[in-house]
Structure 1
Amino acid sequence: MARYVFITGGVVSSLGKGLASAALGALLQARGFSVRLRKLDPYLNVDPGTMSPFEHGEVFVTDDGAETDLDLGHYERFTGVSARKTDSVSSGRIYSNVLEKERKGAYLGKTIQVIPHVTNEIKDFLAVGEDEVDFQLCEIGGTVGDIEGLPFFEAIRQFAQDRPRGQCIFMHLTLLPYLAASGELKTKPTQHSVKELRAIGIAPDVLVCRSEQPIPEKERAKIALFCNVRPDAVIPAYDLSTIYEAPLAYHRAGLDRAVLDAFQISPAPRPDMSRWEDVMDRITRPEGEVRVAIVGKYVQLEDAYKSIAEALTHGGMANRVKVRAEWIDAEIFETEDPGAHLQGFHAILVPGGFGERGTEGKIRAAQFARERGIPYLGICLGMQMAVIEAARNLAGIADAGSEEFDHEAGKKRFTPVVYHLKEWVQGTHKVERKVSDDKGGTMRLGAYSAHLTEGSRVAEIYGTTRIEERHRHRYEVDMKWRDQLEACGLLFSGVSPDGRLPEIVEHKGHPWFIGVQFHPELKSKPFAPHPLFASFVKAAKEVSLLV
């Protein structure tokens, strides 16, 4: 039966609970334990699938088709454990489940209340898969004291009470602000956060304290005394040059040792940190630098493309170069010459997105990369825009466009090279969708297989002709244009097993020009860079050596 670590936060949000959770998972793996990481989010959305990237950052998609919080991306990148639908839940999903059961009469006529019905639903979620791993690490979103998070805090309190003593511990992350005027760190916010936590029946076993300044031993002792934790369980967490330093930094600070002590696991297996030492060596000792332009529509918030940024870093590590990613708003190219902004970059990446805004700029970015011979990677919408660019400028379909933009305008303006995907095969059954369907959870989501053309560039990159990648889209390039586009040099080098859906396109004769309908960034890891990103950065490196 798994041991549980519940990770909570206090004082302010965005302190790095997700990163701390992921790093702890990596440290426990380094000591030979198996782990699973999970996220409990207090917001009332059923999932983040319909949330704006400006609100929530990127949506991370699992193999089994769940749309989840971006923290699950951190979990996967640090542990290599593929997330599942059962690793993420929101208040919206919990309440939806409870209300659905109530409508079916499952509660036998009882009055439905937060306690016990909502908290029991949360506890049932926590118990899923408890026999599969040694440790389950469960992060509670938000901060202690948030009204929407109270059912989750009550549920984990009950859950720990229900389990045998020593099976659950609590790790609390807080901020130690530094006041320059007095020249000292202030522990009072941490004390008040722990007081708030204890008031709802939870006593932390480990405190992780974020600070921009070194924490003196006397301050650590003070925190331990007033927060009722062991001095060696007060773990400093300082700002790092890269998130991939976190496992090594937390190990030096004693986080894994404090957690194992709280579980009374002694003697603990010795950790093997060689994986993370190699990761840091590749990051801190690059042998060159490449500049990659990311031409997107959500560039004001870098978290909107979090997995892409990390996958580029991983590609750089695979090639021993530093990747300097620079974000460019695609809308600029709708009124200005792309050359003025893209000159000097060694590669161009156009990521996914929804809606018409910025798409003409993405098309011009794809055209610039094709005509100038600059390495280009188009992901999801970025692939569709590359196909539309080829249709307009190579195949003579001057009004080529997407049904998505016609639906937005309410009238037909384009010849639809990209159309609304109405049906597809998932596993052994057919999925059907209509434009009028609900937006949430109705896209082509999760892992699907693709067959690659023998001898194509992508087959060479992957080293196989059969791949499986994660999808998140509802519009698709229409295969009826395949022959016309391939006659102009745009090869459909990857298709679905039934041959009906295009997965990958590439320009023959171009140094490196690939568009993919799926999201390869979601499967990239620092110790296992995705082959497409490794090859893309390698191509950029070759360009940089010619300059």
Structure 2
Amino acid sequence: MSENKTKYIFVTGGVLSSLGKGITAASIGTLLKHTGQRVGVLKLDPYINVDPGTMSPLEHGEVFVTKDGAETDLDLGHYERFLDTSLTQNNNFTTGLVYKTVIENERKGKYLGKTIQVVPHIVNEIKDRIVKAGENKDILIVELGGTTGDIEGLPFLETIRQMKHEFGKTQVMNIHVTLLPYIKAAGELKTKPTQHSVQELRRIGIAPHMLVLRAEVPVSTEIKRKIAYSCDVDEDSVIVAADAPTIYQVPLNFLDQDILTPICKQLDLHDCQPNMDKWRDLVHKIIMPSDSMKIAFVGKYLDLKESYKSLTEALIHAGAHLDTKVEIKWVDSEKVEDDGAQKYLSDCDGILVAGGFGGRGVEGKIQAIQYARENKIPFLGICLGMQLAMVEFARNVLGINDATSVEFDENTPNPIIYLIDEFIDASGSKQVRTTTSPMGGTMRLGEYECETKEGSNLRAAYGSKVIYERHRHRYEANPKYREALEAKGMEITGESDGLIEAVEVKDHPWFLGVQFHPEFTSRLQNANPSILAFVNAALQHKK
């Protein structure tokens, strides 16, 4: 038996996807962390893509970027926000990555000419990656994407089955999240989907120790007992995950059901009393805030708001710390192009222009930025939002009518924004860490140092000369225009190795554009400083 002392909680799902496995895993991790345990998290994605970096936001929601530049599943964002931690590429991997690694190893002769099979080679690669993610942790929570019975997920389930034997019963716990549908016509909750899902899991060789039931209506003790008996699970290990007014309420709902007692019993853990006082206070302010204000969120993926998941959560965090409800008004930038900015923005206390790729809706975003600048409304531009703030200023203040980004016009005579490659070629800098994507584009990914300017909104927000934030972009601000911009009142207030990281407008109450993505480092218990400062400025503007 292995000497590995890390304990593993595997979270699987049944019946259908999008049940909230990620929130369940994050909530359990949060509770265990607040008992003093060192908790790690890992997301296993059964799809064949090597990573989500090239997947459409419409297909997969947001791509979350870790500090070491890995493009990962959006569930890692939930883990970081709940556990107040920074994760790396070791905390997410896919079927595609596993197979790619095994095939590359086979080509190099590492298996000494043996026939390569799912068992043991694929399973052992998965196991090695799980063990690596759990190094220096007391507990590793492992979430398996998809649903039980998916063909892609079978090698992962086989790995989970084997690890119970390899590490021992008190080192492994299986938690199964399943749907308890309410049939309106019959007026009943139906337990059969859960029973069949558990049967499928047991057929594979995994007996769940705990069931988490997703239900839209209250679940009676009688139904919980019926499920416990039919699925061979202890009654105190049948937990209800009811719909909550905020996802941050879920750990508290689990705690009220004494979820940690059976977990600590199974894993032979001691001192299972978490201190959730600060968490409870913040959740109270989310649900029952003493004030409210409205932010215009100007973007183009508004039909699928999951594309902006980290940013919408970061606004919730800021609101909780200011005891204020941040009401988001979703503004389609293409409609701003058609109808003008005033129609959509005149009733808002702050204007936010988010990141994105491609030229669709760009002119509407530029109009929104102009409206914020001229009407002295607090403004935050993120990534593309900062770049367009510079384009807008160049056009409407410097008078460079054809100012734009090479992303939208490769042959523009006035490239306010240009490709990273051009910066690297011109400067010869070796410190700019970039990645070439399979689609051929150079991306600046992950965490970078940024030096803030004294007296700026950026310095005031962070209270620090040097800050660290994460990037995901292909284009950079062109320093050729710096002198002209600053002469007319647009200051460069953040820099990184010669790159422009932040801009502000002097004669404006609060205007900030940042090249980085501050939303990736925002947590419920530690709101991101620039987003917190923006929401506070919008609140003051309202008052």
Tell me, yes or no, whether TM beats 0.5.
Answer: yes
Task: Look up the match of 2:46.
Answer: 42
Amino acid at match of 1:385: L
Contact residue 166 and residue 263 of structure 1 kept, 8 A: yes
Between the aligned partners of 1:48 and 1:441, the Cα distance in structure 2 is 15
1:311 paired to 2:334: no
1:533 to 524, 531, 536: 531
What is the CA deviation profile of residues 11-54 of structure 1, one whole-angstrom value per residue up to 9, with x for unaligned ones? Answer: 11111000010000110012111101110001111111111111
Query: In 2, distance between residues paired with 1:379 and 1:170?
Result: 40
Alignment of 1:366-515 (within 5 A): 366-407=369-410, 412-413=411-412, 415-422=414-421, 429=431, 431=433, 438-439=438-439, 442-496=442-496, 498=497, 500-515=498-513
Residue deviations 1:272-326 (CA, integer Å, cap 9, x gap) = 1112211122213322111001101111111100011011111111211100012
1:483 and 1:98, CA in 2 relative to 1: closer, same or farther beyond 3 A?
Answer: same
Q: Aligned ranges for residues 263-302 of structure 1 at < 5 Å? A: 263-265=267-269, 267-302=270-305
Aligned to 1:200: 204
- The CA distance in 1 between the partners of 2:388 and 2:377, in whole Å, is 16
2:507, 2:382 → 1: CA distance?
Answer: 20
1:258–1:20 distance in 2 versus 1, CA, 3 Å: same
CA deviation map 1:310-345 (0-9, x unaligned): 111111112111000121111112222111111100
The answer as to whether partners of 2:381 and 2:512 remain within 8 angstroms in 1 is yes
The CA deviation at 1:160 is 2.1
Instruction: Determine if contact 1:402/1:414 at 8 Å carries over to the other structure.
Output: no
Does the 8 Å contact 1:421/1:433 carry over to 2?
no
Corresponding residue for residue 64 of structure 2: 60
2:364 corresponds in structure 1 to 361
1:167 to 171, 177, 193: 171
Gaps of at least 5 residues in structure 1 are none
Partner Cα separation in structure 2 for residue 82 and residue 378 of structure 1? 24
1:210–1:304 distance in 2 versus 1, CA, 3 Å? same
CA distance in 1, matches of 2:204, 2:364: 52
- The count of aligned residue pairs is 536
Change (3 A) 1:191 1:471: same
- Alpha-carbon contact 1:49-1:440 (below 8 Å) kept: no
Q: Give the SS at the match of 2:533.
A: helix
**Residue 491 of structure 1: SS of its match in structure 2?**
strand
Conserved? CA contact 2:283–2:320, under 8 Å? no
> 1:222, 1:420 → 2: CA distance?
61
What amino acid is aligned across from residue 460 of structure 1 in structure 2? A
Partner of 2:14: 10
Does structure 1 conserve the Cα–Cα contact (< 8 Å) formed by 2:42 and 2:143?
A: yes
Q: Which runs of 5+ in 2 are unaligned?
A: none
Identical counterparts, % of pairs: 50
Deviation of 1:398 (Å): 1.0
Change (3 A) 1:60 1:23: same
3-state secondary structure, aligned to 1:354? coil
Deviations 1:244-276 (A, max 9, x none): 1111011112222221122233x5332211122
**TM-score w.r.t. structure 2 length?**
0.96
Q: Is the 8 A contact 1:294 1:325 kept in 2?
A: yes
Deviation string, structure 1 residues 455-479 (Cα, Å, up to 9, x no partner)? 2221111111110100001100111
**Kept after mapping to 2: 8 A contact 1:36/1:81:** no
Check 1:12–1:430 CA distance in 2 against 1; reply closer, same or farther (3 A cut). closer
Asked if structure 2 preserves the Cα contact closer than 8 Å seen for 1:26 and 1:79, the reply is yes
Moved more, 471-480 or 412-421: 412-421
Of the structure 1 ranges 368-377 and 125-134, higher mean CA displacement relative to structure 2 is found in 125-134
Return the alpha-carbon distance in structure 1 between the equivalents of residues 413 and 332 of structure 2.
Answer: 24
Q: Does the Cα contact within 8 Å between 2:403 and 2:414 map onto a contact in 1?
A: yes
Alignment correspondent of 1:233: 237
Alignment pair present for 1:31 and 2:35: yes
**One-letter code of the match for 2:529?**
P
Partner amino acid for 2:47? Y
2:241 is paired with a residue whose SS is: strand
Residues in 2 aligned to 1:29 and 1:202: alpha-carbon distance in whole angstroms = 26
Rounded to whole Å, the distance in 1 between the matches of 2:435 and 2:236 is 56
Instruction: Give the AA of the match of 2:147.
Output: T
Number of the residue aligned with 1:182 = 186
Output the aligned Cα RMSD.
1.7
**Secondary structure of 1:443 counterpart:** strand
Q: Deviations over 1:397-450 (max 9, x none)?
A: 11111111225xxxx24521100101659997565778xx63379411110001
Distance, in Å, in 2 between the alignment partners of 1:222 and 1:42 is 32
1:518 corresponds to 2:505: no
Cα distance, 1:82 vs structure 2: 0.9
The residue type paired with residue 421 of structure 1 is I
| More off after superposition, 105-114 vs 363-372 | 105-114
CA–CA distance in structure 2, aligned partners of residues 413 and 441 of structure 1: 20
1:251 is paired with a residue of what secondary structure? helix
C-alpha separation in 1, matches of 2:466 and 2:508: 23
Which amino acid counterpart does residue 173 of structure 1 have in structure 2? V
Contact 1:11 / 1:174 at 8 angstroms: preserved in 2? yes
The 2-side partners of 1:351 and 1:477 are apart by 16
Structure 1 residues 473 and 27, CA gap change in structure 2 (3 angstroms): same
Cα pair 1:211 1:238 within 8 Å, conserved: yes
> Which amino acid counterpart does residue 417 of structure 1 have in structure 2?
I
**SS at the partner of 2:468?**
strand
Using a 3 Å threshold, how does the CA distance of structure 1 residues 431 and 467 change in structure 2: closer, same or farther? closer
Q: Is the 8 A contact 1:406 1:414 kept in 2?
A: no
Q: Which moved more, 1:322-331 or 1:413-422?
A: 413-422
What SS does the aligned partner of 2:447 have?
A: strand
Is 1:246 the equivalent of 2:247? no
Q: Is 1:149 aligned to 2:153, yes or no?
A: yes
